[in-house]
A and B are shown apart, each in its own frame.
Chain A
């Protein structure tokens, strides 16, 4: 069976972001595979290994540099990669169209994995857009997955540790949550092997995607200003606790 994993090339979470001309970031920083997509790759590889004859194909829409993220996915076990290359920014509506077109070109998916969200756009929706385009069922924030003969059983996590179990027909789309598995850091031989795995590059423009009617466009990025003026609470434990109580009551007014 063919298992596709969508992986996004995103700015390293640990770096500071600099905004240029109001709505772009300075991209001269480290980029990595989106953390949730690591869980997606890990699960895809696990399912492949349990189903002999299967293959895992990592797909990414991004700039040329995004090949690195495909290499990371392959170092984690994906068999090959597809880079849909574009130097432009695409919103999740266009992204889903591009991913769908490339996947369809390549073969016939039984499972498509994504992360539950990308940490740069925080869109939380690409998986559902693809679901609507393919007419496949979707579950997001999946923390457990079981593949039965013609369906998938998934646990999805809600806040407060609440879990729902869904049964979906195959093919389906799985948005990986953090609880799904523990990604392994690739070993040096894994990394060396990944360099030899094939990556096919498609140009976004070659996919002939019609511009959708609906659009989301970032018109302005504003740094989260830290305007806080820290004031010290001094004294012994009793006095400090009393001061906190006073603040909660009279300043924050939450009591």
Chain B
């Protein structure tokens, strides 16, 4: 049986984020036809890119202009689309925005929902995610109509498959929210920093960075690496960096291709947020720090020396 599956696109500065492509690849399974749902931009501009990843239809959802950022309105619009196109499952990114949208959709639909999935099997209705603050993987069976899956960015390598996407307009201009009004949004502006959850490379600092100023060394290196900067809770609690940069059990859960930990000891709570990274490189003065025995490469060295050196040679190469 053919399964029409909805994949909610997340845009940034009018562009389809790269993280969507991995999600589309994950949603593309036996007997599926994929509908990309967009609420933030003209479908025409993304047609070529989405076609290259096997999207059959792009549904351009037109919301009332002044309600475009309202998560309640957005969730209701997706629900209407699910009904109209008889979608059998919905995928979205488990990003900060996804965490404010996908549970609303599932609650409205009375659907099962698994957030932060690494893998989804639509034949078996099984999702893989993490549990116990990242200490275990869990296979979760979902039962019931139109399961919703939040996909962890970078969980799957994007793979192309050529299709030719048609464009469908869907008017949701009459959907309103009586209960929730958006007073102010601060959208990430142009040239904004790379989001932690989606970064391919993360360079993080902990207590070993010693102060706020030294975090600039990490930002400078990150700029050359096209990386995001993360931090341990100690760095956050010391007031060196904002909470939004915290990686760990009570911070962001990340799966970059490379995680570079500078002056971080590797506590169980820090690992909870980054253990699914592809490669871990640790720079620490203490050879016995937990992170040194649980990484791919380690340097027993002063991060305050190594990082500026790395920035320098990156600049040259």
What are 7 A-B pairs with beta-carbon distances under 8 A?
Answer: A159-B196, A161-B242, A166-B180, A214-B112, A219-B140, A223-B137, A244-B297
Cβ A122 vs Cβ B106 within 8 A:
no
The total number of A-B Cβ pairs within 8 Å is: 264
- New A-B pairs, 16, CB < 8 Å, besides A141-B96, A247-B297: A13-B133, A25-B136, A121-B131, A128-B106, A136-B179, A163-B186, A167-B181, A169-B180, A217-B140, A217-B142, A222-B138, A224-B135, A224-B137, A228-B294, A231-B298, A244-B299
Q: Quick one: closest B residue to A215, CB to CB? A: B143
Q: A128 touches which one: B107, B116, B150, B196 (CB < 8 A)?
A: B107
Q: A159 touches which one: B69, B140, B252 (CB < 8 A)?
A: B252
Is A35 part of the contact surface with B, judged by Cβ < 8 Å?
yes
Q: A13-B249, A231-B297 given as contacts; is B269 within 8 A of A218 (CB)? A: no
Q: Quick one: closest B residue to A164, CB to CB? A: B185
Q: Quick one: closest A residue to B275, CB to CB? A: A224
Q: Cβ of B133: which chain A residues have Cβ within 8 Å of it?
A: 13, 119-120, 122
Q: A159-B244, A214-B112, A247-B281 given as contacts; is B140 within 8 A of A230 (CB)? A: no
CB distance from B287 to the nearest CB of A (A): 9
Task: Categorize the interface residue count of chain A.
Answer: 35 or more
Is B257 part of the contact surface with A, judged by Cβ < 8 Å?
yes
CB distance from A99 to the nearest CB of B (A): 14
Q: A122-B133, A245-B314 given as contacts; is B186 within 8 A of A240 (CB)? A: no
Which residue, A19, A219, A241, has most C-beta atoms of chain B within 10 A?
A241
Q: A11 touches which one: B132, B142, B182, B188 (CB < 8 A)?
A: B132
Cβ B279 vs Cβ A251 within 8 A:
yes
Is B14 part of the contact surface with A, judged by Cβ < 8 Å?
no
What separation, in Å, do the CA atoms of A216 and B148 have in the docked complex?
11
> Which residues 200-240 of A have a CB within 8 angstroms of B?
212-224, 226, 228-234, 237-238, 240
Cβ A159 vs Cβ B242 within 8 A:
no
Cβ B136 vs Cβ A224 within 8 A:
yes
Task: Categorize the interface residue count of chain B.
Answer: 35 or more
Q: A122-B116, A156-B100, A160-B193 given as contacts; is B299 within 8 A of A240 (CB)? A: yes
Q: Interface of chain B, helix or strand or loop or mixed?
A: mixed
Q: Cβ of A19: which chain B residues have Cβ within 8 Å of it?
A: 136
Which residue, A132, A136, A161, A214, has most C-beta atoms of chain B within 10 A?
A214
The residues of B with any CB-CB pair to A shorter than 8 Å are 69, 72, 95-97, 99-100, 103-104, 106-108, 110-116, 126, 129-145, 150, 177-188, 192-193, 195-197, 200-201, 225, 242-244, 249-250, 252, 257-258, 260, 268-269, 272, 275-276, 278-281, 283, 292-302, 305-306, 309-310, 312-314, 317
Cβ A230 vs Cβ B294 within 8 A:
yes
Chain A 135-170 near chain B by CB (<8 Å), digits 1 or 0: 011111100000000000100111111111111110
What separation, in Å, do the CA atoms of A162 and B193 have in the docked complex?
11
Chain A 63-104 near chain B by CB (<8 Å), digits 1 or 0: 000000000000000000000000000011100000000000
Q: Interface of chain A, helix or strand or loop or mixed?
A: mixed
Is A242 part of the contact surface with B, judged by Cβ < 8 Å?
yes
Q: Cβ of A32: which chain B residues have Cβ within 8 Å of it?
A: none
Cβ B138 vs Cβ A14 within 8 A:
no
Q: A216-B113, A237-B305, A248-B258 given as contacts; is B97 within 8 A of A221 (CB)? A: no
Cβ B298 vs Cβ A128 within 8 A:
no
CB distance from A201 to the nearest CB of B (A): 27
What separation, in Å, do the CA atoms of A179 and B195 have in the docked complex?
18
Q: Cβ of B179: which chain A residues have Cβ within 8 Å of it?
A: 136-137, 168-169, 172
Cβ A222 vs Cβ B140 within 8 A:
no
Q: Cβ of B317: which chain A residues have Cβ within 8 Å of it?
A: 245, 255
Q: Cβ of B180: which chain A residues have Cβ within 8 Å of it?
A: 137, 139, 166-169
Cβ B115 vs Cβ A218 within 8 A:
no
Cβ A157 vs Cβ B244 within 8 A:
yes
Q: Cβ of A166: which chain B residues have Cβ within 8 Å of it?
A: 180-183
Is A50 part of the contact surface with B, judged by Cβ < 8 Å?
no
Cβ B195 vs Cβ A132 within 8 A:
no
What separation, in Å, do the CA atoms of A166 and B72 have in the docked complex?
11
What separation, in Å, do the CA atoms of A14 and B278 have in the docked complex?
24
Which 10 pairs of residues, A with B, have the shortest CB-CB distance? A214-B144, A137-B179, A132-B107, A241-B309, A158-B96, A128-B103, A125-B103, A159-B96, A220-B139, A165-B184
CB distance from B99 to the nearest CB of A (A): 6
CB distance from A228 to the nearest CB of B (A): 5
What separation, in Å, do the CA atoms of A243 and B184 have in the docked complex?
47
Chain A 13-32 near chain B by CB (<8 Å), digits 1 or 0: 11011010000010000000
Q: A122 touches which one: B115, B126, B200, B260 (CB < 8 A)?
A: B115
Is A178 part of the contact surface with B, judged by Cβ < 8 Å?
yes
Q: A164-B69, A216-B142 given as contacts; is B134 within 8 A of A228 (CB)? A: no
